Amino acid sequence: MSEAAVLVTGGAGYIGSHVVLALRDSGMSVVVLDDLSTGVADAVPVEVPLVRGSTGDSGLVRRTLRRHGVGAVVHLAGSLVVSESVAKPLGYWRNNVANTLSLAEACVAERVTRLVFSSTAAVYGIADGAPVTEDTPCRPINPYGASKLAAERLLQDVASANDMAVVALRYFNVAGADLAGRAGPRNRNATHLIKVACEAALGRRDAVAVFGQDYDTPDGTGVRDYIHVSDLAGAHVAALRYLGEGGGSQVLNCGYGRGHSVNEVVRAVERAARRPVRLRVEGRRAGDPPSLVACNDRIRSVLQWRPEHDDLDAIVASALAWERAMDAPVDTLRHGPEPRARVARR
């Protein structure tokens, strides 16, 4: 693989911070571009250059690509809350599609030929059968999934017309935290079930909202394929290596191939925390499919990806450990939030 740097957009976010760590652990040079609208500067290692700005700012992106000698991009910046996308679709189309177009234009102009794109299982909508393969028809049922699918197709067209290869990774439900305590979900307003349940177990929330108990699933609650964030980060490293070895464009599911219901997740949190978690049953949430589980045969074959944390209890344990560390005094944190003074915008 070349010595060229990797630009990680959204690298100050939850998934982005883990991807940055995985790339650095693999010996790659990394630069982060993040507008810090949801990301946190302190989530980026101090030795990694952090440029504050939007992927929609084509001039800034081009300057960043040139200044840091970027040869590949991992594009994670985007909006990702299903319920918010239903309420505010314009912002999702702007951030997930228009800004991706600007980034692609900058990459073409600066001759960046390798791109890994953060997509989502939400592109499938209510899938026919389970598990879903990459060839399952895409019929998104919310603006989040629709905007990500549009961005996938945009990048495929750009790659076909230029000297570029794109790997789109369709994430299933990402959870957990770095096992060394270096990174984890920092957003106090998160909607991800495992984080919410851990917060409830630690007394930071009164209850966990269960959106629907009448789905056609074994216990009536929604079923999802939960993947540990460190395994997902490893998939990005594998995708960059694959592209660096001349691999062509791919669309790949990122999941374990098994599903867990809301009730099963809550019970796993209760086991880890050794205390009950109160549930608050609400109606179904707009844009939520009843079940979504990956077939991961293709990513295993194409990228030789081998997950290391395929266990719900292990995922929950890492998430709970992170949440407990977040409650500890700053000087006891392994990767505490010291102020950063080296955020650049040029």
Whose CA is closest to 34, among 293, 26, 25, 19? 19
Structure tokens at 169: 């990774």
pLDDT of residue 329: 59
25: in domain: yes
Instruction: Give the CATH number of the domain where residue 93 resides.
Output: 3.40.50.720
250: in domain: yes
Structure tokens at 146: 């629709």
pLDDT of residue 2: 46
Residue 22 near residue 321 (C-beta atoms within 8 A) = no
312: in domain: yes
- Of the CA atoms within 13 Å of residue 211, those in its CB half-sphere come to 15
pLDDT of residue 343: 53
Residue 292 near residue 126 (C-beta atoms within 8 A) = no
The predicted-structure confidence for 2-19, as pLDDT tens digits, reads as follows: 479 999 999 999 999 999
The predicted-structure confidence for 54-111, as pLDDT tens digits, reads as follows: 999 999 999 999 999 999 999 999 998 888 999 999 999 999 999 999 999 999 999 9
pLDDT of residue 315: 98
The predicted-structure confidence for 119-153, as pLDDT tens digits, reads as follows: 999 999 988 777 999 999 999 999 999 999 999 99
30: in domain: yes
The pTM assigned to this predicted structure is 0.92
Residue 336, pLDDT > 50, answer: no
Residue with tokens 């505010």, as numbered in its chain: 88
Residue with tokens 């957990």, as numbered in its chain: 176
Give the chain's radius of gyration (CA, Å). Answer: 19
Residue 1, pLDDT > 90, answer: no
The predicted-structure confidence for 214-223, as pLDDT tens digits, reads as follows: 999 999 999 9
Residue 18 near residue 178 (C-beta atoms within 8 A) = yes
Q: Which residue of the set 14, 92, 144, 215 is catalytic?
A: 144
Q: Categorize the per-residue pLDDT at 344 as very low, low, confident or very high, splitting at 50, 70 and 90.
A: low
187: in domain: yes
- In angstroms, the CA 213 to CA 221 distance is 5
Q: Categorize the per-residue pLDDT at 154 as very low, low, confident or very high, splitting at 50, 70 and 90.
A: very high
346: in domain: no
Q: Is the dihedral of CA 35, 37, 40, 43 positive or negative?
A: negative
- In angstroms, the CA 266 to CA 213 distance is 14
Give the domain range for residue 99: 5-335
Residue 191 near residue 206 (C-beta atoms within 8 A) = no
What average pLDDT does the chain have? 92
345: in domain: no
Counting the structural domains of the chain, the total is: 1
- In angstroms, the CA 167 to CA 270 distance is 37
Residues 44-51 have a mean pLDDT of: 97
pLDDT of residue 323: 94
Residue 327, pLDDT > 90, answer: no
DSSP alpha helix (H) spans, the chain: 14-25, 58-67, 82-87, 89-93, 99-109, 143-161, 193-201, 229-244, 262-273, 297-303, 312-327
17: in domain: yes
The predicted-structure confidence for 274-325, as pLDDT tens digits, reads as follows: 999 999 999 998 778 889 999 999 999 999 999 999 999 999 999 999 999 9
Residues 261-269 have a mean pLDDT of: 97
pLDDT of residue 345: 46
Task: Please state which of the ranges 14-23, 116-125, 185-194, 253-262 shows the lowest mean pLDDT.
Answer: 185-194
Q: Is 256 a catalytic residue?
A: no
